[in-house]
Structure 1
Amino acid sequence: MDKVLAFDVWGEYAHFRKYYTTTSPLTFSIPPRTAICGLIAAIIGIDKTEYLSYFSKDKADIAVKLLSPVKKVRLSENLIDTKTALMMSKIKNRTQIRFELLKDAKFRIYFSHKEAELYEKLSSYLTQHQSFYTPCLGLSEHIANFAFVGEFSSELKNGTEDFVRIDSAIPVKQNSNLKIKFDENGGEYFHETLPIEMAEDRTVLEYSKVAFERNGQPIIAKLDTYWELDNGERIVFL
């Protein structure tokens, strides 16, 4: 891998629904890889019915970094069944559901792709601050803004005996040699099991535990491999 695009994305609210919740939807603390694929597809104009085929793990590399502390709130939303009424003004029945939302969410996304055309298209849209569809953070009502950070060279590093600073969230793979050095000053470390890859019919093909520090601080860790960018950041792809 030679080049990695980095861009920041943020919004007042975000919701990345946990797959095991139904009537009271809960949200992941960071966007799953599958949600990031949808966000990038919206920016460059790939239809939601086909974008998953463009972002399989053998084609696209994606990492995510927390830029603001994880804050969660619960708000009630009125859900309506738009399939049963031809006009919005005729809808009478509403179901009120309490959603768990991320408040003031902000993330940095790192992206590389084997297809040069798709990679360059995203680079063009980001640098011009343009998007084909409206980008959002999980749900269509949570509109997102974004800003291009830069394009960086990357180098694969093999894990050593030393602990290193990792700036992104870290996938915790089975049988990995990951070790985390917990901050003596009180870092808040969590892991969540996120969907990583989906088939075109939206069947989840892979889940993975992903570790992160709740306030967006780097994680000091020993791990098998990581990528070092020429701006000094170290990341691990989901």
Structure 2
Amino acid sequence: MDKILVFDVWGEYAHFRKYYTTTSPLTFSIPPRTAISGLIGAILGLPKDEYLKYFSKQQAQIAVKILNPIKKVRIAENLINTKDDYFIPIKKGSHGPRTQIRFEFVKDAKYRIYFHHTDPNIFNKAKSLLLYHKCVYTPCLGITEHIANFEFIGETVIKEKSSSDFVKMDSAIPTDLIKEIKLEDGEYFSETIPTEMELDRTLKEYRKVMFERNGINGKGITAKVDRYWELDNNESIIFL
């Protein structure tokens, strides 16, 4: 790997549903690797039931950086009542036509995505579509109600680095790779996010990641890690 694509995605709201929540859906603070795969797959026009096979860790490398402070809000939404045999939007017995659920959302979400693919056809198609701000399907931030806008930042050279010193990491960092953190002024959080799924959407792998949630101008985390990747604009990242 010597080059990656860099692009920003944002929207008024985002919802990356935590897999262990049911009646009151909560959201991850950052898009999991699986959600980013879906967003890129939508831009490329890959079928919903097939795109995952193109985004294994052996094929695709993905990293994410927070650009706006993570702000979460809860909003009640009316959902169609599905408890009856037929989804009829009228009152049936003790069941009303709808049920109200409180969803948690990320407000004013904005992230920077770093993407590389081993297949040059997929890589070049993604580059062309991002460059001309085009997409085959509508990209969204987690769920279809939250349409994502995007901007191509560029194709950049990337180099693998190793260091025994502290390095400012711009992306979210998998905690299993962190040897030591230099605590600075900031708010540090960690979440366990899905990183790979099977084609039937069963969870294949999850990983705990750490990030600085204010994310103003990509504040990042200063840490010691064995290996990381450096871009030609001096950003340093680790892939999820």
TM-score interval (norm. to shorter): over 0.9
Specify the alignment match of 2:235 in structure 1: 233
Alpha-carbon shift at residue 81 of structure 1 (Å): 5.2
Q: How does 1:1-238 map to 2 (within 5 A)?
A: 1-80=1-80, 84-85=86-87, 91-92=89-90, 93-158=97-162, 160-173=163-176, 176-183=177-184, 186-216=185-215, 217-238=219-240
Give a deviation string over 1:182-205, Cα, whole Å, max 9, x none. Answer: 10xx21001000001011111111
Amino-acid identity (%): 63
Aligned letter for 1:167?
D
Distance 1:211 1:52 in 2: 24
Name the CA shift for 1:117/1:24 in 2 (closer, same or farther; >3 Å): same
**Displacement of 1:218 after TM fit?**
1.5
Q: Deviation digits for residues 120-152 of structure 1, max 9, x if unmatched?
A: 000010001001111100010001100000000
Alignment check: 8 A CA contact 2:164 2:226 kept: no
Deviation at 1:157, TM superposition (A): 0.5
How far residue 219 of structure 1 moved from its aligned partner, in angstroms, is 0.7
3-state SS in 2 of match to 1:4: strand
Q: What's the TM-score, normalizing by structure 2?
A: 0.93
Structure 2, unpaired ranges of 5+: 91-96
Whole-angstrom distance in 1 between the partners of 2:144 and 2:207: 25
**SS across alignment from 2:143:** coil
Q: 1:81 to 1:116 in 2, by over 3 A?
A: farther
**1:178 is paired with a residue of what secondary structure?**
strand
Query: 1: CA distance between counterparts of 2:14 and 2:143?
Result: 7
For the aligned residues, what is the CA RMSD?
1.3
1:18-42 CA deviation, whole Å, 9 max, x = no partner?
1111000000000000000000000
Deviation at 1:161, TM superposition (A): 2.2
Q: How far apart in 1 are the matches of 2:156 and 2:81?
A: 46
Rounded to whole Å, the distance in 2 between the matches of 1:161 and 1:114 is 29
The one-character-per-residue Cα deviations of 1:49-108 (angstroms, maximum 9, x if unpaired) are 0000000000000000000000000001111158945xxxx6231111000000000000
**Partner amino acid for 1:180?**
I
Q: Which amino acid aligns with 2:183?
A: F
Give the distance between the partners of 1:178 and 1:47, measured in 2 at CA.
40
Distance in 1 (alpha carbons) for counterparts of 2:99 and 2:40: 31
Task: Tell me the SS of whatever aligns to 1:40.
Answer: helix
Unaligned runs of 5+ in 1: none
Tell me by how many angstroms 1:224 deviates.
1.1
Corresponding residue for residue 93 of structure 2: none
Deviation at 1:232, TM superposition (A): 1.1
What letter matches 1:221 in structure 2? A
